[in-house]
Amino acid sequence: MLLVSSCSRYNDNGSLSIAGVLYLILAIAAVISLLKQDWDVTKKIIWGVVIWFFPIGGSIIYFLFSGRK
């Protein structure tokens, strides 16, 4: 239980932690970048699912391996 609670994006009072704010910025930047791409819908959906289901890692994987322009 300690491990789960220590990895949370929220502080004890319900506000976002520094990690939560960084994650939010990274995720928003990834989604904006994704929407700007001129790819077909299928590729955008696949990358959107990766970003959504793997919160921090998905955004990093997107920026490193998506082949964006």
In tens digits, the chain (69 residues) has pLDDT values of 334 444 556 666 667 778 778 888 998 999 999 999 999 999 999 999 998 888 788 998 998 988 866
**pLDDT score of 3:** 40
**pLDDT score of 12:** 67
| Distance of alpha carbon 31 from alpha carbon 44, whole angstroms | 10
The neighbouring-strand residues paired with 16 are: 10
Would you state the structure tokens that stand for residue 45, as one six-digit string?
């959906």
Model pTM?
Answer: 0.70
Q: Which domain holds residue 15?
A: 2-65
Residue with tokens 């609670």: 5
Say how many domains are in the chain: 1
**pLDDT score of 68:** 67
DSSP SS3 for 9: coil
**pLDDT score of 32:** 93
